């Protein structure tokens, strides 16, 4: 399975959208300052996920969310509550 995920940092009040095959390992890397964008803080929490059969499907969905460039849309997704 492949996943898109949204993480949130209270310290910087920002969301980050990504895709991965292993959500737990990816969250650890975000909070370990390995990822450039998320290295600004270490309080990222997982707030949303969707699962897909293929990496290509996950990448397409990630890009769809990012293209919207909308915090309101991201918060709507989170309120919908598809966190696994």
For the chain, give every domain's residue range: 2-80
Q: What is d(CA 43, CA 11) in angstroms, rounded to the nearest whole number?
A: 7
- 26-58 pLDDT tens trace: 999 999 988 888 998 999 999 999 999 999 999
Return the pLDDT at 34: 83
Topology classification of domain 2-80? GIY-YIG endonuclease (3.40.1440)
Return the pLDDT at 28: 92
Confidence of residue 81 (pLDDT cuts 50, 70, 90): confident
Return the pLDDT at 83: 55
Return the pLDDT at 35: 80
Q: What is d(CA 43, CA 79) in angstroms, rounded to the nearest whole number?
A: 20
Q: What is d(CA 76, CA 26) in angstroms, rounded to the nearest whole number?
A: 23
> Any alpha helices (H) in 1-84, and if so which ranges?
23-31, 55-68, 71-80
């Amino acid at each position: 399975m492949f996943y898109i995920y949204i993480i949130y940092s209270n310290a910087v009040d920002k969301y980050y959208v990504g895709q991965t095959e292993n959500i737990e390992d990816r969250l650890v890397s975000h909070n370990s300052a390995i990822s450039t964008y998320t290295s600004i803080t270490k309080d990222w929490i997982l707030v949303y996920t969707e699962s897909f059969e293929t990496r290509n499907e996950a990448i397409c969905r990630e890009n769809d969310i990012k293209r919207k460039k909308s915090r309101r849309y991201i918060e709507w997704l989170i309120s919908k509550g598809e966190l696994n």
